[in-house]
Structure 1
Amino acid sequence: MKLNFYKIIKKISLGLICLSLINAVSAQTRPIEEGFDYRVMPAPQAIEAKGKIEVLEFFWYGCPHCHDFEPQLDAWVKRQGKDVVVKKVPVAFRDDLLPHSQLFYALETLGKSNLHAKVMETMHVGKKKLLTESEITEWAVSQGIEREAFLKAFKSFTVTSKARSANQIAQAYRIDGVPTVAIQGKYITSPSITSGSKARAIEVMDHLVTKVRKEKR
């Protein structure tokens, strides 16, 4: 009996797809577990939002996974209670990426944090790196920000200090990839930790916030 090579390949491909779907469903239905869905910090970090549940989102503007995760994360933030405080922490894994962190804090200083998603859209949809001071400044001006005001904020001591401090925070949390979410200074999760599932990461974040609420009682 002569076997059809292409039929064999098709069957193998279908089998792998089915296996992937089974694994995805299994990940969604099994109980949330430490070590599989989240990690516990060896030493809890101090939190600034006293009396609140503090959530830190570590990200980098140039990260495609951060861009992909942003819509789900934004929706999650909007449905949190008043006892939850969410802060974004830009991470620059190399010195030449620090301008992206400065951009984040410059926009914050100028009251333009609403342009956060626009930065990612420009970089990942518009394919612009926005890595040099001149590129970043021209982009800011194109968004209606006055040139001198932006440059003053971008190069200010406050903004550059915040950008470097953000890296120190990331190091304290042992962040080696983004996006990563830290909850109450001791729990870490991310789509990569949850086997690449953004939906699972959101589910785990809900679980951890509930867990912290119970611990605070």
Structure 2
Amino acid sequence: MQASRRLFCTAALLACPGIAAASPAVPAGVPREGAGYQALPDPQPTDSGKKIDVTEFFAYYCPHCYTLEPKLADWVRKQGDDIVFRRVHVPRGAAVAAQQRLFYALESLGLLDQYHDKVFRAMHVERLPLVQDEQVFDWASRAGIDRARFMEAYRSFGVQAKIRRAQAMMEGYRITHWPMVAIDGRFLTSPGMVAEAGQVSGMEALQGTLRVMDALVARAKADRK
């Protein structure tokens, strides 16, 4: 495992927008609102039916999203059919636009499961910038994706609609930093929130986030009974 995935230090937590240093401790046991998670003042609609909606807001460039990814993927697998999981690639200006289009192009082509980790690796291990369209096209071609087919999806109205939807969701969920995870359209948690609440960092913050997610999924299930 790469050292960058093992280290999630307080200094790193300060790098992404809106993530602050640690403060008062969070008690053990079931988390309380404001200590590791927040309740949305305006719950957002979900279309997951009887299952619990879990949405990650992330960006490919973000080192904390890269660090969280393998732990989050394991957590999602363990949930089985209890949840519906999706990702939303957040917008952040021209420098991130190509990466956001890359994500939604892969999703529209049905290739996201196959290539999602490879994009993270390209950026954080191979140090490819992927900030310009041609850089993204070159990467896709080298990765084995038909260049013309990918370019068509990348520039499609469908991908543009997904980008507009991502912006609307970011505003509706009041996303201030990332990675951030929404549970049942009602709750938000993140390693940054857990770090603030519990005076922890690194793997403790990651594991704490997953525990909060477990508790929020359980609460969402209980509320439906």
TM-score by length of 1: 0.85
Superposed CA deviations along residues 181-213 of structure 1, whole A, max 9, x for unmatched, are 000101000000001401000000000000000
Q: CA deviation at 1:110?
A: 1.7
Say whether residues 1:211 and 2:210 are aligned partners.
Answer: no
* 1:6 aligned partner: none
Structure 1 unaligned regions, length at least 5: 1-22
* Of 68-77 and 30-39, the range deviating more from structure 2: 30-39
Say whether residues 1:170 and 2:167 are aligned partners.
Answer: no
Say whether residues 1:79 and 2:87 are aligned partners.
Answer: no
Q: In the TM superposition, what are the counterparts of 1:2-81 in structure 2 within 5 Å?
A: 27=26, 29-81=28-80
Contact 1:98 1:163 in 2 (8 A): no
* 2:185 aligned partner: 185
Q: Percent identity?
A: 37
Q: Aligned AA for 1:216?
A: R
Change (3 A) 1:210 1:144: same
Q: CA RMSD in A?
A: 1.7
* 1:18 aligned partner: none
CA distance in 2, matches of 1:135, 1:95: 14
Q: CA deviation at 1:27?
A: 4.9
* 2:209 aligned partner: 201
Contact 1:27 1:200 in 2 (8 A): no
CA distance in 1, matches of 2:216, 2:171: 22
Q: CA deviation at 1:140?
A: 0.3
Q: Aligned AA for 2:124?
A: H
CA distance in 2, matches of 1:47, 1:209: 14
Q: Aligned AA for 2:222?
A: K
**3-state SS of 1:181 partner:** strand
Q: CA deviation at 1:124?
A: 0.8
CA distance in 2, matches of 1:186, 1:147: 40
Q: Aligned AA for 2:218?
A: T
Contact 1:53 1:209 in 2 (8 A): yes
Structure 2 unaligned regions, length at least 5: 1-21, 196-200
Q: Which has the higher contact order (CA 8 A, sep 6+)?
A: 2
TM-score by length of 2: 0.82
